């Protein structure tokens, strides 16, 4: 099966929202926030360097990623969102999207790529995914999201140190 990665278009938003909610990885409030993020992307943030791409297979969106430069840093970028349809998880699609976001950021001059996620058992596979792709667990903030739900920050250097 072949697939392609292309920039997000406004018509993709409903499918991205549906895919996100179907993964059962995101809370309803997070899915709501994603709608706002994507609306802002086309209204404003794309002009400030934010990026978003979808993974398309046989005409259907099966994943997406959203990343952007971190304000007030020297070439640090963040992966804010990444999700893969339950139908194709575990088949390397997420890795291709992650590498795409890294490569794009690197071309834009990024030296460091950061990812935040939850420390609950529900996110064990997510944290293992980042470790598989050479990210380091750089920090944990206990009880950040809620009591018992730590913030885990992963990092990966994209460019050589100056």
DSSP letters of 39-79?
Answer: HHHHHTGGGGT-EEEEEEETTEEEEEEEEEEPTTSSSEEEE
Q: Is the pLDDT of residue 101 over 90?
A: yes
Residue 1 confidence (pLDDT): 59
Q: Is the dihedral of CA 51, 6, 99, 104 positive or negative?
A: negative
Is residue 98 domain-resident? yes
Q: Look up the domain containing 148 and give its range.
A: 3-157
- 162 assigned to some structural domain: no
| pLDDT given for residue 86 in this prediction | 92
The closest alpha carbon to 126, from 135, 30, 1, belongs to 135
Mean pLDDT of 86-95: 92
CATH number of the domain at 114, please: 3.40.630.30
Cα–Cα distance for residue pair 49/73, rounded to 1 Å: 14
pLDDT at 2: 85
Q: State the total domains in the chain.
A: 1
In a domain, 151, yes or no: yes
How confident is residue 130, by pLDDT bands cut at 50, 70 and 90? very high
- The tens digit of pLDDT for each residue in 16-65 reads 999 999 999 998 999 999 999 999 999 999 999 999 999 999 999 999 99
In-domain check, residue 49: yes
Best CA proximity match to 112, nearest among 153, 162, 152, 78: 78
């Amino acid at each position: 099966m072949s697939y392609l990665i292309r920039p997000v278009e406004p018509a993709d938003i409903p499918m991205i929202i549906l895919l996100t909610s179907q993964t059962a990885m995101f809370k309803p409030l997070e899915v709501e926030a994603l709608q706002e993020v994507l609306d802002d992307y086309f209204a404003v943030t794309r002009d400030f360097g934010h990026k978003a791409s979808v993974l398309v297979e046989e005409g259907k969106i099966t994943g997406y990623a959203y990343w952007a430069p971190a304000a007030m840093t020297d070439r640090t970028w963040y992966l804010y969102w990444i999700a893969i349809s339950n139908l194709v998880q575990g088949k390397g699609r997420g890795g291709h999207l992650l590498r795409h976001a890294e490569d794009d950021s690197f071309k834009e001059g990024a030296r460091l790529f950061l990812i935040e996620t939850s420390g609950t058992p529900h996110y064990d596979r997510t944290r293992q995914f980042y470790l598989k792709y050479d990210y380091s667990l750089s920090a944990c903030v206990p009880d950040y999201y809620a009591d018992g739900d730590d913030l885990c920050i992963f990092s990966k250097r994209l460019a050589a140190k100056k």
